[in-house]
Structures are given as C-alpha cells and as structure tokens.
Structure 1
Amino acid sequence: GSELKPSASGICTALLVLLHRNAAAASGDGGGGLRLNFYSESCPRAEQIVKEQVRRLYEEHGNTAVSWLRALFHDCTVKSCDASLLLETDAATGLVSEQASPRSFGMRNFKYVGAIKSALERECPGTVSCADLLALAARDGAAMLGGPSPIPMRTGRRDATASQYGEVERYVPNHNDTVSAVLSRFAAMGLGAEAVVALLGAHSVGRVHCSNLVARLYPAVDGGFEPAYGAYLRGRCPTADAREDTRDVAYARNDRATPMVLDNMYHKNLLKGRGLLLVDQRLASDPRTAPFVKKMAADNGYFGETFAAALVRMSENGPLTGGQGEVRKDCRFVNAK
C-alpha cells in the first residue's frame, strides 16, 4: 500500500544532498565522469527503455526485480560498478565468469539482461553501457517492489573488458560473516554502518537457499532464532545430511509477511529473532548497527530514504568513465577487436 512508500520529496532531498556531496568528488575519480541524464543527447529514451523493460519483466517474472538489486550489489562490491559480473566464461580467451564463484550461488535471471540490452541496442546501437543498465535496472526494480522512488541515478559508467573472478571471494561478504567483516567491506565503498543496515534491508525481498541455513538449524536450532521460527525453517529445509542438491533447491522466504515488498519488515523481523542469515541477525545485537535496525524498524520512510541514498552511493563505486573500458554490444562478451 501507499504507506510503504516514503515521501518522494523526502527521498529526492536526501539524494540531492548526497549528489551535491559527491559532486565535489566528481572531478577526481570518486564518481568521476558520472552525471544525471548522461544519455540526454546520445540516447534520450535510454532510461525510459530500461524502465519499460524492467516493468515488463517484473510483470512476467516478479523475481527479476530482486535479481537486479542483487546483481548491482555483486557487480559494484568487486572493485568497480563495471558490469564485469555479466561477462560469461569464454574458453577461447581463458576468461572465467564471476558468476562461477561460490559467492554468486543462487543468482539468476542473467538471461533477461539481454532483453533489456537488445531494446537499448535497437534504439541507440553501441551507446548505453551494461554497467549503466545494471544501475538503472536496480533502481527501477526497487521501485517495482514498492521501494523508494524516484531515485536520481547518475550515469556514464563504462564496461570492463576483464572478469574479476579471482577477487570475488575477497570482496563479496559471506552469509555468516561477522559484522566487523561486513562493515569493513562496505567502508571500502564509502558506506557506513547506517548505509549497511539499509542496504541489507534488500533481504526484505527474495529468498535464501537452505544450503546457507542448515548450519543454523542442525543438529540444534541456533539460539538466536525465535523458537517457532526455527521450527518453521526446519520444516522448509531438509537435514544437514540431505543430498546437497536438495539443499540447494529448497529455500525459505526472507520475509513471510510482505515477501515481494521492499520495506522495513526485514528490520522488524531482526528484532523478533527472525533474521534468516547469521550476518542479518548479528546486525540486531551489534552496538554499531543495532540502533539503526531499531530506527528503521520503527520508520519505513527513514529506511526508504537511507536505502535510496546508499544504493546511489554503492552504484558509484569506482566506475570506469571517459576513455576507460568500453560500451559492450552484448553484455555477456567483450567487444570483438
């Protein structure tokens, strides 16, 4: 319902302050070369096309909207928001895709990136980067899920010509990391504890595979779980000695109340001992993050504004701009020389 959407004016104000702050860094390499409406002359309908495609895909396969948020997180966390995540393994060149990393387990819907890119290529061949496509799709996906909107997102990113497969495990947090580990990884992107608690609120949508949960359920249920919730999860997830493939297919929804709404239900659940992943539940008790969990649980508008600002900040992590990288014609492959 409408109460889930924080006021648009509040979000815009918070973001304009953030963009203003970032503008100072824009002359260096902070958000260098990125600007609002980057394609206003080269491809005026670029952002509209992405939005139309994200909406169409959402209407056909609702979970795509969640996938765009996760894809942007995985792409940006590993060194740069440069669409290196989208490159597919290529035996001929020896390139190994970041999607092959264990940290990318459960990511899906990459095939639909091609549908968005094809629509952009039809309108403006070789103009809109895959890195900008990911950033815009995540923004529009958040809006489709009832999250903050509109989010002013700067564009002008260029695409990587290499995979960072070897770096993924070092950069992408694990589901059972300590709060300190997670905070230090986000700090490298200029994101503090408040932003981390907001961004992990994306776990308000989507699901978690049982392979990431069984250690908290067997042989005994983790004492951090609300007992009834632990019993429910044991019903969802087969035992730890079940065949690996069953655990990889079985899953539990992150949030049973509003499973497809990007809202503060995640933070409310943490306060009740219903954080699915260990790292989620730890946010509620760590003194550096707990105050933000409580504040977001109490105020969905505040969560929305903080999430929007953090999403923009994350999307501007070390972008390739100007003459760096390239604009890939097909997001899966480096352009032929």
Structure 2
Amino acid sequence: MRTSGGGFAGLVASVATVCLLLPTASRAQLKVGFYNTTCPNAEALVRQVVTAAFANNSSVAPGLIRLHFHDCFVRGCDASVLLSVNPDCGNTERQSSANNPSLRGFDVIDAAKTAVERSCPRTVSCADILAFVARDSVNLTGKLFYQVPTGRWGGCVSNETEANNNLLGPDSTVEVLINGFRKKNLSVEDMLVLSGSHTIGSSHCASFLATNRRQRANETISAAYQALLEALCPPNSGQFDPNTTEIDVSTPVVLDNNYYKLLSLNLSLHFSDDQLIRNATLAPFANAFAANEMLWKDKFVAAMIKMGNIKVKTGIMDEI
C-alpha cells in the first residue's frame, strides 16, 4: 500500500481554489447511465485509458482501487484526494502521512480526465471518473464487471488532518476497523469484504515491519514469512523508504479470495489483516470467503457500489 503516485498537475495544481462548475443539469441522485445523453462514450474512454495503463504496468490497478477508497473515506466520494493545493492553506489529503507516498495512479486519472474533456467538455466529474477507474481495475484483475451509479459532484476542500483522522492504518485493531467503517455507514461485513481488495497490490516496509515483529512475538505470523520480510526491509524503515512487497504472496496481481486463505496460514502482511482471523465473530466469515470465491466476489461488488455512495454530493451548489 505504501507506493508512490504520479501528479495531477494538468487539472488542479495551478488553481486549486477555483473549481470547475458543471452544468446545472438535474443531479438529484446517483444513477446508472447518468451520462448516456450528455457524454455517452465517457465510460468507454475511461476504460481505454485504464486498460492501456494496466497493460503497461499491472500494479496500477490496486493503486486506482485504493485511490477511490481513500477519496471516499475522508470527505465522501468527491475527488478531494486529487487536489494538490489546499485553498485554506496547509497540506492536502494526498500529502498526509496516510497517503504519501503510498497513493498512486494520479497520472491515470489525469489521462482519463483529459480524454473525457476532449470529447465532452465540462460534463463528467472527477469523482465519477474515480469510480469508473476503480470499477475498471476490478474488472481487469478479477474479471468482475458492475454498473457504476454516477452523478457525483466534486469538492474544493482537501485537508491533511481529515485524511489522517479518517483513513484506517495497517496497524488498526478490529475495533478501530469496525468503528471506522461504521462512521461511513458501512457494516462489519462490508469491512471484511472490502479488506479482500488487499489480495492485490504492494505495501511499503514502514506499513508492516514494526507490527509484524509484535505478531512474531505472539506467534501470529509465520516465522519463515517474517524472516523473508526482515531480509527485504531495512532495519529502521521510515515513511519514505522505497522498499515494497506484495500483500498477497501467491497471486499478487489477481483479485481473488487468496487473501482470506492466507489469513489462516499466518501469512497476513498487515496487522489489520491478521486481526480479522483472530476475532471469533469475524473468523467464520473470513473462512467462508476462503472456501467460496464467488460468494466473496458477489459481496465485493455490492460493497464497492455501497462505498461509492459515501456522502456523495449531487446538488447544483456542489462543484468539481
């Protein structure tokens, strides 16, 4: 999860205090096919950009899914994570320790927005593009396709403190995870299901090394796995140490249920992941997902759609 991201300079870096107002069309609620009339090729254009980026580097997919998640969990799904300047001064969400240098995929959003703007100027919001690229990444890595309800507006506020206070770290306990999701109107099951996205992607040493040493002391992580991680990471890995490793050691580029299988084998990279199998209430559900991939995938799609509805802005007074 601790991987660096690119820039969004072409769209927001220069004048972050001036947001692009979209046309005052009816935006009462999200719906599938919102752009069917105003920009019928929007989803196809975004998909082309994501597919090309994925063909060049498959690691972009987990980065884009995580970008959508980290946007929605702060101020709602409003694309505020893309802003590189805070109009109220101070650092932005993307500059927070929870996101920097781990967030990546900003360059793909930039390319997708450019393609859509060329075809349909001032029509498709960046918040909806974030939902599209996440969906397309799920499709490319897990062969899962689902319809994305759209019609989100974006926000002009992006605050470092809000990101650090709302984003859940890799050292979170079960209680912290449950409460953090509950605050976003997501259930315990949603939390457990969405955690499965860790079956793809990589993480920086600083995100797991210290807590894994505590897990080793409690014998809740494989000794051989911990030795491998110790060999990979510098002894005192800091926030900006570039060393990373795959979260799923077996199928790191495939969105499958292998994440849940690794939990019971003491092969969880993050403390927060390992916690799911240590909880008597959650463990049976994690084991069920390990045994039935389609069960998890069906629930994962539903949870992604639900997450994409967190505090969406849909009124004409909102902005992108």
Give the TM interval when normalised to the shorter protein: 0.7 to 0.9
Q: Name 2:3's counterpart in structure 1.
A: none
SS at match of 1:252: strand
Question: What is the deviation of 1:217?
Answer: 4.7
Q: Name 2:23's counterpart in structure 1.
A: none
C-alpha distance in structure 1 between counterparts of 2:28 and 2:169, whole Å: 30
182, 199, 221: which one pairs with 2:194?
Answer: 199
For structure 2, the residue ranges without an aligned partner over 5 or more in a row are: 1-26
Against the structure 1 CA distance between its residues 255 and 226, is the aligned structure 2 distance closer, same or farther, given a 3 Å change threshold?
A: same
Question: What is the deviation of 1:32?
Answer: 5.7
53, 57, 68: which one pairs with 1:57?
Answer: 53
Q: Name 1:238's counterpart in structure 2.
A: 234
- CA offsets 1:271-295 (integer angstroms, 9 cap, x no match): 1011111010000111232121101
Aligned length: 292
C-alpha distance in structure 2 between counterparts of 1:88 and 1:314, whole Å: 24
C-alpha distance in structure 2 between counterparts of 1:218 and 1:191, whole Å: 31
Q: Are 2:76 and 2:311, in contact at CA under 8 Å, matched by a contact in 1?
A: yes
SS at match of 1:305: helix
The one-letter code sitting in structure 1 at the alignment partner of 2:207 is N
Give the percent of matched residue pairs that are identical in Structure 1 and Structure 2: 32
1:149-298 to 2 correspondence within 5 Å? 149-218=144-213, 221-222=216-217, 223-240=219-236, 244=238, 248-298=241-291
Q: Are 1:178 and 1:279, in contact at CA under 8 Å, matched by a contact in 2?
A: yes
Against the structure 1 CA distance between its residues 220 and 191, is the aligned structure 2 distance closer, same or farther, given a 3 Å change threshold?
A: closer
- CA offsets 1:254-279 (integer angstroms, 9 cap, x no match): 11211100111100001101111101
Runs ≥4 in structure 1, deviation > 6 angstroms? none
SS at match of 2:241: helix
C-alpha distance in structure 2 between counterparts of 1:155 and 1:210, whole Å: 36
The one-letter code sitting in structure 1 at the alignment partner of 2:142 is G
Question: What is the deviation of 1:95?
Answer: 5.8
Whether 2:107 is the aligned partner of 1:104: answer no
Question: What is the deviation of 1:214?
Answer: 2.0
The one-letter code sitting in structure 2 at the alignment partner of 1:250 is N
Question: What is the deviation of 1:249?
Answer: 1.0
Q: Name 1:146's counterpart in structure 2.
A: 142
Against the structure 1 CA distance between its residues 151 and 254, is the aligned structure 2 distance closer, same or farther, given a 3 Å change threshold?
A: same
Whether 2:289 is the aligned partner of 1:317: answer no
C-alpha distance in structure 2 between counterparts of 1:292 and 1:140, whole Å: 27
SS at match of 1:182: helix
Question: What is the deviation of 1:210?
Answer: 0.6
Deviates more, 1:94-103 or 1:135-144: 94-103
Whether 2:30 is the aligned partner of 1:34: answer yes
C-alpha distance in structure 2 between counterparts of 1:201 and 1:219, whole Å: 23
Question: What is the deviation of 1:219?
Answer: 8.3
Q: Name 1:113's counterpart in structure 2.
A: 109
Q: Are 1:95 and 1:162, in contact at CA under 8 Å, matched by a contact in 2?
A: no
Question: What is the deviation of 1:78?
Answer: 0.8
Deviates more, 1:283-292 or 1:199-208: 283-292
SS at match of 1:107: coil
Deviates more, 1:188-197 or 1:219-228: 219-228
C-alpha distance in structure 1 between counterparts of 2:28 and 2:138, whole Å: 25
Pairwise CA RMSD = 1.9
Q: Are 2:63 and 2:105, in contact at CA under 8 Å, matched by a contact in 1?
A: yes
C-alpha distance in structure 2 between counterparts of 1:113 and 1:122, whole Å: 14
TM-score normalised by structure 2 residue count: 0.86
TM-score normalised by structure 1 residue count: 0.82
Q: Are 2:216 and 2:222, in contact at CA under 8 Å, matched by a contact in 1?
A: no
Question: What is the deviation of 1:144?
Answer: 0.6
Q: Are 1:193 and 1:288, in contact at CA under 8 Å, matched by a contact in 2?
A: no
